[in-house]
Amino acid sequence: QQQRSVLTAARLKENGKKLAAAHIHRELTVNGHSDSLHLLLDDLLEPDCAIGNIDNIEWCRWLVAGGRAPTEFAAIVRAYDNHAKCGLVWIPHVVAYRCRTCGISPCMSICRDCFKRGNHENHDFNMFLSQAGGACDCGDTSVMKPEGFCSDHGLNSCQTKAPVPDDLLLVAEAMMPRLILRMLLHFRQFSAMKNDSAVCRLVAEYCNEYCTMLMEFNNMGEMMRRVMTKTFIDRNVYRRLLEPPYPSNSYGQYLRNSRRLYDEALRQFPSPEPPPDYAHLPALGRTIVHQTLLEEFIFWTFKYEFQQQIVCFLLNMLPDQDYKEHLTRTFVMHYCRIPSVLEMSNDPDTLSNRVVHMSVQLFSNESLALKMVEELSLLHVMIISLRQMMSKILTPHLLHNPERNFHYVVDCAERVMKEHCYWPLVSDFNNVLSHESVALVFLKNDNLIDMWFQFLSMLQGMNVNLREIISHVEYESSSYYAAFSCELEASAYPMWSIISHLQDPSLAPLAKNIMMYCVTYLHEWLEAVNFYQHPKFEKARS
């Protein structure tokens, strides 16, 4: 049977891409299914064949086009596009714009074309070089005001267009589950290799061309994007493609081996041990069960250190609101693994930017951020992750008499501090605190405030400077910069975010409550460093 399938696929290929694609399109139109398509996909998406095979990728483009040339098909699909949001994704070091007059979220950003087509005259805006990459928010009412939208985006720009032909996306709908599955099998296949940044980058590079093809499909507009996102979030698709029972042939054996590699990767990548009081929180569970292609895709995104092409592919589909919520929920469920990824990486600086490239798009939406806080305890997950990361690098405090000082503080000479591995976590925390509704949840929860001050206590008095009176090093240590950056990003920025939301007199009790925590933890710190017994200050002699 396998030999007959190969011969049949070969015979289909002999007809050429256009005729084979047209034949498959006719089969789907008449019968609702196509055996020819499955035979051809078995050949084109053969796991033992390189995923980046250019000829196979070109075949996939022609098949999706259903008998038309790929460029012609893309133009036809775009003609029916009725999207309200831009969603353009850019990589680091690209110029973008931010308009504080139009922005609802301080992280709002728009691309150059949308800025120029919009009316921002006399607005408070700036042009900036994107550090982490981003995505255009034009058309998204949850992030910016409608009056800032350009002429191409927003509800007013949506025009009523002719009905979409029923058979236009038939082949795409039939192929998409297999196309996305091929990437997951690629990630599984290489998961047993040595896990370092160079290997992660190499595994991602193997599928760059394939990923580019999928992004081209997404860029055809809302209709094709919906075909892709439905495939990503449908539990039945995941169950049918990847869960037992497996077929009793060579492909079934491949799936069994693939499952073993996946299970081993899960076992080697658990979340940190959560505090006992919070072990029940879903997003802090030691293990995680994936039920959709998107959920497993996010797992591999974490495992392979947020490679640029994969992050851009996932972000390109964000204009689909249903997908955006599923992606955000899945991201939060994996969030507590971010410290482990950062600590293991050989290039935490680049990795940090890529993490924030994704997270800033997900948490800039206030209603979605609040939903994650209420349903998945996002604030607890963030603070606990930060606290656990810093607790690994504590060192005895050197203020006053070290023998009587029982306070522990972060060691600024450690890699976590010097290479700012904590930055994505505090950046996300500052992002969600910029939303008033989320900040009020934080201020009303004593457990959250208490955990936050436990974290701040680890920073209190860090990087003590001792006078060197004998020999001196030639160059000053860079730990002073690590301490300064950490104090600014992890302490000062959240403080100013909180203060900005406490302007109304009715919120005075919340302001008083957090000040009481400040006083309590300051007292505890003074006791810990033995300030009350030593040193004793003498009055200045006149």
Q: Is the pLDDT of residue 267 over 90?
A: yes
The larger pLDDT score, comparing residue 467 to residue 78, is at: 78
The DSSP call for residue 81 is -
Please report which confidence band the pLDDT of residue 476 belongs to, taking 50, 70 and 90 as the band edges. low
pLDDT at 3: 43
pLDDT at 261: 96
Distances (CA, A) of 35 to 40, 42, 63, 174: 9, 11, 14, 11
Lowest mean pLDDT: which of 4-13, 69-78, 384-393?
4-13
pLDDT at 75: 96
The answer to whether the bond into 270 is cis (omega within 30° of 0) is no
* Average pLDDT of the chain, as a whole number: 90
Indicate the residue type of 279.
Answer: A
The answer to whether the bond into 245 is cis (omega within 30° of 0) is yes
pLDDT in tens, 110-135: 999 999 999 999 999 999 998 888 99
Please report which confidence band the pLDDT of residue 375 belongs to, taking 50, 70 and 90 as the band edges. very high
pLDDT at 274: 92
pLDDT in tens, 450-466: 999 999 999 998 887 76
Quick one: which of 207, 204, 181, 203 has its CA closest to 190?
A: 203
pLDDT in tens, 414-460: 999 999 999 999 999 999 999 999 999 999 999 999 999 999 999 99
Distances (CA, A) of 107 to 84, 96, 328, 444, 473: 20, 12, 16, 25, 42
The CATH number of 89-157, from 2.40.50.140, 3.40.50.300, 3.40.640.10, 2.10.110.30, is: 2.10.110.30
Quick one: which of 168, 165, 163, 175 has its CA closest to 66?
A: 168
pLDDT at 526: 86
Strand partners, 409: 395
Q: Is the pLDDT of residue 474 over 60?
A: no
pLDDT at 392: 94
* pLDDT more than 70, % of the chain: 92
Please report which confidence band the pLDDT of residue 475 belongs to, taking 50, 70 and 90 as the band edges. low
Mean of the pLDDT values across residues 296-316? 96
Could you report how far apart the first and last alpha carbons of the chain are, in Å? 105
pLDDT at 111: 94
pLDDT in tens, 44-66: 999 989 999 999 999 999 999 99
Please report which confidence band the pLDDT of residue 241 belongs to, taking 50, 70 and 90 as the band edges. very high
Residue with tokens 């959240």: 494
Q: Is the pLDDT of residue 86 over 70?
A: yes
Which strand (E) or helix (H) includes residue 343? helix 338-344
pLDDT at 469: 64
Lowest mean pLDDT: which of 297-311, 327-341, 374-388, 408-422?
408-422
Give 271's Cβ-side CA count (13 Å radius): 23
* pLDDT more than 90, % of the chain: 75
Mean of the pLDDT values across residues 335-339? 96
Indicate the residue type of 73.
Answer: F
Mean of the pLDDT values across residues 245-260? 93
Q: Is the pLDDT of residue 185 over 60?
A: yes
The larger pLDDT score, comparing residue 502 to residue 193, is at: 502
Spell out the residues 6+ positions from residue 97 whose beta carbon is closer than 8 angstroms to its own.
109, 110, 111, 112, 115, 120, 125, 126, 127, 128
pLDDT at 2: 44
pLDDT at 525: 87
CA–CA dist 247, 256 (Å, integer): 10
Report residue 292 as tokens: 């959709």
pLDDT in tens, 135-158: 999 999 989 999 999 988 887 555
Please report which confidence band the pLDDT of residue 327 belongs to, taking 50, 70 and 90 as the band edges. very high
Contact 449, 517 (CB under 8 A): yes
Contact 461, 400 (CB under 8 A): no
The DSSP call for residue 89 is E
The larger pLDDT score, comparing residue 253 to residue 162, is at: 253
Contact 326, 294 (CB under 8 A): yes
Indicate the residue type of 23.
Answer: H
pLDDT in tens, 205-220: 999 999 999 999 999 9
Which residue ranges make up each domain of the chain?
2-72+166-336, 89-157, 390-465+477-528
Please report which confidence band the pLDDT of residue 399 belongs to, taking 50, 70 and 90 as the band edges. confident
Please report which confidence band the pLDDT of residue 487 belongs to, taking 50, 70 and 90 as the band edges. very high
Spell out the residues 6+ positions from residue 19 whose beta carbon is closer than 8 angstroms to its own.
67
| Range list of β-strands (E), 345-489 | 394-396, 408-410
By three-state DSSP, how is residue 519 classified? Answer: helix
